[in-house]
A and B are shown apart, each in its own frame.
Chain A
């Protein structure tokens, strides 16, 4: 520790340079945390799907519905405990930019299947008692300034016409990545007002034993193999993960950008360290004359670069956690967007690596420096 002062003095000798370098590293780590958290959010989206629920959909494609009569046949499949169904409504509220998801659900079976959707029992009763009732997420209520009992009108894109709904309940998810911007309403309401043309978009199946989910899924698909509409059944988690992959190779994009950021800042930091140490060649030679070992001198250089990048990293990560974690705007675009402790730790590790590498060349130079040459150069 007694050498800490030397490191500190060297850091503060050119304050502007040290601060600028610290800030560059900070900016880089901020960017790292921001990008990495996009992956976190996407992971959370696929994680939010349960392993103990199965989704049965039309094997031809997700846009093809299934006959309602499948409900009974699904219930009869061995190992199936409960069956529910839902449909994608795809309505527009005033303007297509006000995007949110609307699901027509079978109220009797759906909510018991989804304990994630937490709603006051009285509100659920009120919802059940009203044909055009709807339950919406707390996030939507805030986003549009809705109030309980308000009537809202959506324009159907799949099911034409103007659709009126009365807000009878507000839910909160038990987990932020589930999202609090969904809307649920009665499947019967959709069915009756679509000229009875709607049929279930997908079925949700609860196996009696979650450990047998894959076997049950295979049994379901087997039993519909030769029907007019063969099915494809997978765990809800796999189903959700399929949606995430639809965005394309986001992981690769994030990694590519992250790598570029890392190297760009590595160059900045390494250049700073090289400039600093080149200006101090003479002093290193003096310290060697005083009996400082080569190893100690290179450790002092590395300590300096480590200090710069760790301080920068901590600043950048702290800024990220303050500005990005629990950021409502980001949270509504990407449910589950949050800066995880593991992201912070990863960021810190990156900062350490950055410090070690950027100090490496000047540290080696310091160790290899010949006192005689260095002092003669000055003289």
Chain B
């Protein structure tokens, strides 16, 4: 059984005038350890697909099975717990909490676990070490560059050891050099730590780095 199985996934939005179909009968299998990219023009439904897989949004029909759980049937609390344990989310605009240090931002997901303070510290240090920011632990987001902020964001995504990393245009707000760093980092997560990574991107070059490329257009997925 594949790690991720999407079956007949359909999502529509109702606007004043018409019903817009965002995703139309999407079927997708992702095996554990894959590194995928998802491209498509604005409004093609990329983010919606990502949100559905993260359990942030509900489909109109179809099923999403990840690591054996069918998540569309989970209630909000079960879904939140499931998300904490299974998904690491990387945002385009990093979305770090400005009032917390890099260390504290990365520690956030661990606050939902039963880990002791020392165990949390150890994990956070490992994660920050992976993204090569051990020397920036006590910095606040505003003291970091965009690329560094995104690396903290990635550390936050991997700290709870999720089965899958979902990255929503992780290089969209970065200059070329920083973007390159982030792509390398994602690749390492895949190759070194054997993480399953799904990256939504606008950037052809970034998409090429993935091992499997998909294209979404008008709600239809081309693999």
Contacts and interface: CB of A to CB of B under 8 A. Distances in A.
A286 B97 contact: yes
A288 B99 contact: no
A250 interface: no
B99 A282 contact: no
B221 to A, nearest CB: 19
A372 interface: yes
A115 interface: no
Specify which of A286, A292, A294 lies most central, judged by the most chain B CB atoms within 10 Å of its CB. Answer: A286
A333 interface: no
A288 to B, nearest CB: 7
B51 A372 contact: yes
A291 B85 CA distance: 8
A372 B57 contact: yes
Contact of B104 (A5, A295, A378, A379): A5
Interface in B96-111: 97-100, 104, 108-109, 111
Contacts of B111: 2-3, 6
B121 to A, nearest CB: 12
Contacts of B117: 2
Contacts of B98: 13
B109 A290 contact: yes
Contact of B84 (A5, A12, A283, A290): A290
Interface in B74-88: 76-77, 80-85, 87
B93 A293 contact: no
Contact of B81 (A12, A13, A291, A372): A291
A255 to B, nearest CB: 41
Contacts of A287: 108
Contacts of A372: 51, 56-57
- Tell me which of A12, A13, A291 has the highest count of chain B C-beta atoms within 10 A of its own C-beta: A291
B54 interface: yes
A3 B110 CA distance: 11
Interface in A276-309: 282-283, 286-295
A123 interface: no
A46 to B, nearest CB: 54
A286 B84 contact: no
B178 interface: no
Interface in A1-42: 2-3, 5-6, 9-10, 12-13
B95 A286 contact: yes
Contacts of A2: 111, 117
B99 A13 contact: yes
A295 B99 contact: no
Contact of A294 (B57, B80, B84): B80
Interface residues of B, number: 30
A371 interface: yes
A286 B88 CA distance: 12
B86 to A, nearest CB: 9
Contacts of A13: 98-99
A291 B77 contact: no
B51 A286 contact: no
Most chain A beta carbons < 10 A, residue from B77, B99, B100: B99
Nearest to A3: B111
Given A5-B104, A378-B93, A379-B93, A289 B99 contact: no
A281 B83 CA distance: 19
A289 B57 CA distance: 11
Contacts of B92: 379
Contacts of A289: 54, 56, 83, 89, 91, 95
B156 interface: yes
B112 interface: yes
B83 A291 contact: yes
Given A5-B104, A290-B83, A295 B91 contact: no
Contacts of B93: 378-379
Contacts of B112: 290-292
A290 B104 CA distance: 14
Interface in B136-168: 156, 160
B122 to A, nearest CB: 15
A282 B97 CA distance: 9
B109 A291 contact: yes
Interface of A: 2-3, 5-6, 9-10, 12-13, 282-283, 286-295, 371-372, 375, 378-379
14 contacts: A2-B117, A3-B111, A6-B111, A10-B99, A13-B98, A283-B95, A286-B97, A289-B91, A290-B89, A291-B80, A291-B81, A292-B84, A293-B76, A379-B92
Given A286-B95, A288-B56, A375-B95, 19 more contacts: A2-B111, A2-B117, A3-B111, A5-B104, A6-B111, A13-B98, A282-B95, A283-B97, A290-B84, A290-B108, A290-B156, A291-B80, A291-B82, A291-B83, A291-B160, A295-B77, A371-B57, A372-B57, A379-B93
